[in-house]
Amino acid sequence: MVCEINKETEKQLFFHNYSRLPLAITHGEGTYLYSSDGSRYLDMISGIGVNALGYGDKRVVNAITEQAQKIIHASNLFMLEPQFKLAGKLLEISGLSKVFFANSGTEAIEAAIKLSRKWAHLSGSIDKKEIVSLSNCFHGRTYGAMSLTAKAKYLEGYDPLLPGMANVSFNDVDNLKATVSDSTAAVFVEFIQGEGGIHKISSEFIDTLKTLREKHDFLLVADEIQAGCGRTGKFFSYMHFDIEPDLICLAKPLGGGLPLSAVIGNSKVKNVFAAGNHGTTFGGNPVACAAGLALINAIYDDHLMEQASATGKLMRQAFEALGEKYSQIREIRQYGLMIGITVKREASYYVQEALKRKVLVNATSGDVVRLLPPLTTSREEAQQCIDCLDEIFSEET
Ligand SMILES: *Cc1c(COP(=O)(O)O)cnc(C)c1O
């Protein structure tokens, strides 16, 4: 079959579930992507927050190459050194007790849902089954994770969903109090919502969650899939708050660009899973774990969390200045290098305009221009993005 790469052949070959940009990517370097016509694009999306080190980091590439030469896959029938090293690192950073590796964000969420229900079951309470999530959240696309994601656009036509789910309005303390009870097994929280448009949970909401957890004994699950691994300036975004989650889900950047996710649990849940209770063939693939370890070491060695904080702050100040200048900008929300610019029209307009100027930005939640640049983004590159948006706003009609 002939395969020219364009939007026509894309339509013929694939289900129509993605809206891909009309770019055939050949390679990447640092913060730039290159397309088949030789053009260079400044990438402020970094593979939806996956490429925390940009493209082609030598340490990650070498870790992958070296591990691939030893063994690419063996399965969880065996003990594999890269898994042990990465698990040790994640426990050291989080201070928690146990790790489970899977392959994608949604699988980490599934594992956390199963673990939560099993934990509640083992606690002896028959009707402690309910899983609570927040409005506007995003936890993934498989049935359990999707059932947590209470947004009509992701759910339409897919019912019946997983039963036993409840949804609380984001940052609505009274709604939280009214919903959570002894029947609650777990509450899933993105401390900074990503797909939802870069919204931070309030300290008041977190304090209430803490009090309610004392009272009703449920698990607090931190979905750190987008905000974790240093993106917000701390390794986990919950570290900006005075709270310890019981479970942490990690994915996107965790495998240095390879598919890898993790669930990390505290001592409360350390004995929930027994042999055969849960698993996945590819979970904790040794090449992905070796890449993940290289990624985490690079984040610390190069002080990338500090850099993400500084670059993010610089970008926020610049966008706030644009906000003074242009009435099209409603609000700037920025936590490290998770940045949302709320605009007055469809954010996709700015994606298209930036694309014409060879800058890649993303739209989420309809009216939010979202930036998830690599943590390694330089000041000059940040400035290029700022100048590009400045030009678009100034020329907008
Ligand atoms: C991307 C994302 C997921 C789902 O991860 P996949 O790897 O796409 O399954 C879950 N939660 C959050 C917060 C995410 O950003």
Question: How high is the pLDDT of residue 230?
Answer: 98
Question: What is the position in ligand 1's atom list of the atom closest to the CA of 251?
Answer: 7
Span 371-394, average pLDDT: 98
Q: What is the pLDDT of residue 152?
A: 78
Q: What is the pTM of this model?
A: 0.98
67 is in an annotated binding site: no
Mean pLDDT over all residues of the chain? 97
Place of tokens 């993005």: 385
Is 194 labelled as part of a ligand binding site? Answer: no
Distance 110 CA to ligand 1 centre (A): 11
pLDDT of 246 > 80? The answer is yes
Question: Nearest C-alpha to atom 7 of ligand 1 is from which residue?
Answer: 105
- The ligand 1 atom at the shortest distance from the C-alpha of residue 223 is 13
The answer to the question of whether 280 is labelled as a binding residue is yes
Q: Tell me, what amino acid is at 119?
A: W
Ligand 1: list residues with CB < 6 Å. Answer: 104-106, 109, 138-140, 190, 194-195, 223, 225-226, 251-252
Mean pLDDT of 347-355: 98
- For ligand 1, the distance from its centroid to the CA atom of residue 61, given in whole angstroms, is 24
Tokens in use for 53? 């080190």
225 annotated ligand binder: yes
Segment 103-123 mean pLDDT:
97
Tell which atom from ligand 1 comes closest to the C-alpha of 137. 13
Give pLDDT tens digits for 149-197: 877 788 889 999 999 999 999 999 999 999 999 999 999 999 999 999 9
Cα–Cα dist 154/197, whole Å:
15
Atom of ligand 1 nearest to the CA of 195: 15
| Residue 20 assigned ligand-binding role | no
Spatial strand order in the sheet of 247-250? 98-102, 261-265, 247-250, 219-223, 184-189, 130-134, 165-168
Quote the ligand 1 centre to 250 CA distance (angstroms).
9
pLDDT tens, 41-84?
Answer: 999 999 999 999 999 999 999 999 999 999 999 999 999 999 99
For ligand 1, the distance from its centroid to the CA atom of residue 70, given in whole angstroms, is 30
The confidence band for 133, taking pLDDT boundaries of 50, 70 and 90, is very high
Q: Within 10 A of 66 (CB to CB), how many other CB atoms are there?
A: 12
Q: What is the pLDDT of residues 187-233, one digit of tens each?
A: 999 999 999 999 999 999 999 999 999 999 999 999 999 999 999 99
Confidence of residue 11 (pLDDT cuts 50, 70, 90): very high
Phi, psi dihedral angles at 178 (to 5 degrees): -75, -20
Q: How confident is the model at residue 1 (pLDDT cuts 50, 70, 90)?
A: low
Whose CA is closest to atom 10 on ligand 1? 139
Using the predicted structure, report yes or no on whether residue 125 has a pLDDT greater than 90.
no
Average pLDDT value for residue range 116-141: 95
pLDDT score at 397: 72
**Which domains are present in the chain?**
7-56+303-396 (3.90.1150.10), 71-301 (3.40.640.10)
Residue 2 has pLDDT above 90, yes or no: no
**223 is annotated as contributing to ligand binding:** yes
Q: Kind and range of the H or E element at 248?
A: strand 247-250
Q: Using most ligand atoms within 8 A of CB, pick from 18, 45, 106, 236 the residue to mutate for ligand 1.
A: 106
Dihedral angle over CA of 240, 329, 54, 29, nearest 10: -170
**Cβ partners under 8 Å of residue 377, min gap 6:** 31, 44, 54, 311, 337
Share of the chain above pLDDT 70, in %: 99
Q: Report how far ligand 1's centroid is from the alpha carbon of 326 (Å).
A: 33
**How remote is the CA of residue 21 from the centroid of ligand 1, in Å?**
20
Is 90 exceeded by the pLDDT of residue 126? no
Residue nearest to atom 5 of ligand 1 (CA): 105
Residue 105 marked ligand-binding = yes
* pLDDT the model gives residue 155: 86
Res 3: pLDDT:
78
User: 170, 188, 195: which to mutate for ligand 1, most atoms within 8 A of CB?
Assistant: 195
